[in-house]
């Protein structure tokens, strides 16, 4: 058997077995006993409902993973990639447009396969647990917009990458890296003013207690904001969230309208303080720099496998091509990507603790540990969060620490004898 094929099949099966094991451990870690920290916050029926939500979503995820694995294996072994390549080549175009057609057809097949799962998740599970507010019209319109954005933004980037690898020799990976970084930076600037408004309506926060508290806190931290906005997140879900967009003096804070309905002013400012902590502690540029470095390493390793006849043969390809090698490399890179993701998640959890501490220790506008704790609790109840995830599940998949661990760390800050933690 082709060595590349054996390696890829082993990686796919091993990844599935790890996901299955972690999911089952996570289900076993569900405790019917409400943690004392949430007494009086999580009503017994709500807590039971949160656990049922975890069970339902976990089992559904396993079904989707099982079907996806079976379909992927069948597609590879039946020569599905070669059939798609034959269709792409039938147009008689040059390598770059042929590569765009090949990649587009694969994306279309993948999207069509995942669509039933997405529909059931949105209109079945999320609807059942009271999260979904998306109409069918909004859902379909979102799909159309997402496809158009992929074509308008992703198409030129892919074409540039293919062109560099076809024409630029040994330094092609470096040019691709620079092009990809430039693309990311441009999209970061375009997102808040062009892309995001395609999906949601952004309204300046009205004058009042909340805006005064936010601007007062930002001023106390010498943090410039271009604007404060609410977003109509309720048109798709009852979940609550907040985030920053933009760079430098163009930074703006966005609150889901569901967040302003569920949290008090002090709690919202505490959430803002947490997000501001990421900026003040330079978490965002550091994470971006690490991501850019990872991207450069990926492009370099990719350059070593382009035009590899053995790799193409593993997927039953009749002809070797740069564009197909890009797709097949993703299978080889999966183990490295998984390990890097674990590292990034661990670094992100560390950053979350630090941002929590920043929010607790910057006491402007009534912000403090208790306000953040109260806000986190309300959001956990609202989102039916799993309060007792298995440690291995957290290690592999969580970019944020479990809620109880975050609260415990915030509680320690208030203890004078906690190793100097309270300042």
Q: Which of 241, 262, 283 is the last residue of a domain?
A: 262
152 by Cβ neighbours in 10 Å (0-12 / 13-18 / 19+) ranks as: exposed
| Domain shared by 277 and 420, yes or no | yes
| Domain shared by 357 and 402, yes or no | yes
| Domain shared by 295 and 361, yes or no | yes
Is residue 393 within 8 Å of 26, Cβ to Cβ? yes
| Rounded CA separation 394/377 (Å) | 19
| Domain shared by 381 and 366, yes or no | yes
Q: Which of 262, 287, 310 is the last residue of a domain?
A: 262
Q: Is 280 domain-assigned?
A: yes
| Rounded CA separation 352/280 (Å) | 13
Give the domain range for residue 381: 1-125+266-423
Q: Is 354 domain-assigned?
A: yes
3-state secondary structure of 202: strand
| Domain shared by 148 and 118, yes or no | no
The neighbouring-strand residues paired with 132 are 237
pLDDT tens per residue across all 423 residues of the chain: 789 999 999 999 999 999 999 999 999 999 999 999 999 899 989 999 999 999 999 999 999 999 999 999 999 999 999 999 999 999 999 999 999 999 999 999 999 999 999 999 999 999 999 999 999 999 999 999 999 999 999 999 999 999 999 999 999 999 999 999 999 988 888 888 888 899 999 999 889 999 998 888 888 888 877 788 899 999 999 988 888 777 666 677 888 998 888 899 999 999 889 988 998 899 988 999 999 999 999 999 999 999 899 999 999 999 999 999 999 999 999 999 999 999 999 999 999 999 999 999 886 444 568 899 999 999 999 999 999 999 999 999 999 999 999 999 998 887 765 544 443
Q: Which of 262, 279, 295 is the last residue of a domain?
A: 262
| Domain shared by 378 and 401, yes or no | yes
| Rounded CA separation 227/205 (Å) | 8
| Domain shared by 222 and 275, yes or no | no
| Rounded CA separation 168/173 (Å) | 9
Q: Is 194 domain-assigned?
A: no
3-state secondary structure of 230: strand
| Domain shared by 22 and 93, yes or no | yes
Distance linking the first and last C-alpha atoms of the chain:
63
Q: Within 10 Å of residue 248's Cβ, how many Cβ atoms?
A: 7
| Domain shared by 276 and 408, yes or no | yes
Q: Is 250 domain-assigned?
A: yes
| Domain shared by 157 and 218, yes or no | no
**Alpha-carbon separation of residue 75 from 109, 154, 155, 357, 362 (angstroms):** 11, 24, 24, 49, 55
Instruction: Report the phi/psi class of residue 35: left, alpha or beta, with left for phi > 0 and alpha for psi in -120 to 50.
Output: beta
Q: Is 240 domain-assigned?
A: yes
CATH of the domain at 240: 3.30.2010.10
Q: Is 343 domain-assigned?
A: yes
HEC profile of 82-146:
HHHHHHHHCCCCCHHHHHHHHHHHHHHHHHHHHHHHHHHHHHHHHHHCCCECCCHHHHHHHHHHH
Q: Is 195 domain-assigned?
A: no
Q: Within 10 Å of residue 384's Cβ, how many Cβ atoms?
A: 20
| Rounded CA separation 257/234 (Å) | 7
| Domain shared by 253 and 399, yes or no | no
Tokens matching residue 119: 């529909």
| Domain shared by 185 and 206, yes or no | no
Structural domains in the chain (count): 3
């Amino acid at each position: 058997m082709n060595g590349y094929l054996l390696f890829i099949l082993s990686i796919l099966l091993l990844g599935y077995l790890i996901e299955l094991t972690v999911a089952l451990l996570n289900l076993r870690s569900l405790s019917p006993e409400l943690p004392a920290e949430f007494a009086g916050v999580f009503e017994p029926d709500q807590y039971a409902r949160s656990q049922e939500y975890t069970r339902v979503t976990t089992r559904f995820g396993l079904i989707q993973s099982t079907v996806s694995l079976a379909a992927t294996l069948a597609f590879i072994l039946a020569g599905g990639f070669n059939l798609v390549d034959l269709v792409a080549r039938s147009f008689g175009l040059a390598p770059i447009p042929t590569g765009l057609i090949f990649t587009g057809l694969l994306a279309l097949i993948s999207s069509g396969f995942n669509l039933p799962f997405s529909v059931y998740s949105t209109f079945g599970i999320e609807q059942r647990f009271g999260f979904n507010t998306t109409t069918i019209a909004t859902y379909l319109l979102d799909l159309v917009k997402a496809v158009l954005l992929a074509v308008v933004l992703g198409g030129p980037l892919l074409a540039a990458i293919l062109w560099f690898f076809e024409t630029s020799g040994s330094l092609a990976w470096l040019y691709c890296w620079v092009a990809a970084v430039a693309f990311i930076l441009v999209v970061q600037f375009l997102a808040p003013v062009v892309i995001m408004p395609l999906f949601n309506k952004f309204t300046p926060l009205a004058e009042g207690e909340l805006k005064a508290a936010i601007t007062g806190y930002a001023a106390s931290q010498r943090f410039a904001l271009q604007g404060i906005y609410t977003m109509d997140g309720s048109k798709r879900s009852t979940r609550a969230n907040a985030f920053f967009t933009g760079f430098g003096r163009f930074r703006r804070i966005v609150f889901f309208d569901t967040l302003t309905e569920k949290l008090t002013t002090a709690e919202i400012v505490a959430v803002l303080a947490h997000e501001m902590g990421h900026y003040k502690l330079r978490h965002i540029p550091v994470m971006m720099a690490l991501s850019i470095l990872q991207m450069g390493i990926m492009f370099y390793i990719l350059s070593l496998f382009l035009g590899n006849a053995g790799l193409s043969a593993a997927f039953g390809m009749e002809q070797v091509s740069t564009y197909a090698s890009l797709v097949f490399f993703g299978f080889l890179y999966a183990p490295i990507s998984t390990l890097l993701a674990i590292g990034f998640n661990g670094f992100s959890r560390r950053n979350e603790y630090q941002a929590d501490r920043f929010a607790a220790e910057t006491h402007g506008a009534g912000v403090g540990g208790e306000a953040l704790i109260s806000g986190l609790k309300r959001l956990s109840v609202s989102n039916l969060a799993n309060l007792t995830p298995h440690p291995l599940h957290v290690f592999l998949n969580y970019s944020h620490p479990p809620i109880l661990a975050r609260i415990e760390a915030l509680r320690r800050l208030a203890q004078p004898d906690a190793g100097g933690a309270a300042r």
